[in-house]
A = this chain, B = another copy of it.
Amino acid sequence: MTGVRPARGPRGAEAIHAAVLALLAEEGYVGLTVEGVARRSGINKTTLYRWWPSKPPLVAATFRHAIARDLPVPDTGTLRGDLVALVRSKAAFFADGPGRLAADVLAHTGADTELARLADELLGEHCAHVAEVTGRARARGELTGPVDDELLADLLLGPVWLRAVVTRRPLSGADADTLVDTLLAGLPR
């Protein structure tokens, strides 16, 4: 399980992240305040502010924590296995729990540049996962030519996102397999 970075944060970080997720579920991103997180978690407000100067980096840290815990970079031994695991785990992540809350927050990026930065950062982590998978596939000789990892990341996550966030009909496991097989083989010509 590479790619899972050790959690950075104060003592009690678990309680803080749990409080952020509970308050996001109850009040949404707009209603959430750093003070509310301090009350809910029982962690001193000044401790929170020492680590995260405002709401967006605090929420970003909570999502980064959930991603590191719930979305390890797959290492199944094959490119197909890794890509299927990436798509399936992300579809499950965004359908429920912290991922559902993250999707709700990111769906409201609108004109909010701090949220757009958060979206960029989280999509950047996804892209790093994809690059790790393609890098290993290249080392095994499974990939022989250049791959645009950023575009591949968008091709893998875009359909997951449309279904989980926009239409709310999450991608099934079978759809995830078909998606990856289409990307691997191309259209039948």
Assembly stoichiometry (copies)? 2
How large, as a class, is the contact surface on chain A? Answer: 35 or more
- Report the minimum CB–CB distance from A182 to chain B (whole Å): 7
Given pairs A152-B187, A182-B186, 12 additional interface contacts (CB within 8 A): A142-B189, A143-B188, A151-B178, A151-B179, A154-B158, A154-B179, A155-B155, A157-B162, A158-B159, A158-B162, A182-B183, A184-B186
Residues of A within 8 A of B (CB): 79, 104, 106-110, 116, 119-120, 123, 142-148, 151-152, 154-155, 157-163, 165-169, 175, 178-179, 182-189
- Decide if the interface of chain A is mainly helix, strand, loop or mixed: helix
Contacts of A178 in B (CB 8 A): 148, 151
Quick one: given A155-B155, A168-B109, are A147 and B183 in contact (CB under 8 Å)? no
Contact A188:B144 (CB < 8 A) given known A107-B108, A123-B162, A161-B166: yes
State in angstroms the CA–CA spacing of A162 and B166 once bound together: 11
B158–A157 touching, CB < 8 Å: yes
Q: Which chain B residues border A79 with CB–CB below 8 Å? A: 187, 189
Q: Kindly report which residue of chain B lies nearest to residue A28, judged by CB atoms.
A: B110
A163-B154 CB under 8 A given contacts A107-B109, A188-B147, A189-B142: yes
Give me the 6 closest cross-chain CB pairs, A-B, nearest first.
A158-B158, A145-B188, A186-B186, A154-B159, A158-B159, A185-B186
Cross-chain contact of A147 among B161, B168, B187 (Cβ < 8 A) = B187
Return chain B residues, CB-CB under 8 Å to A109.
107, 165-166, 168
19 A–B pairs (Cβ distance < 8 Å), ordered by A: A104-B110, A109-B165, A109-B168, A116-B167, A123-B167, A144-B188, A144-B189, A145-B188, A147-B187, A147-B188, A148-B178, A151-B182, A154-B162, A154-B163, A155-B182, A158-B159, A184-B187, A184-B189, A185-B186
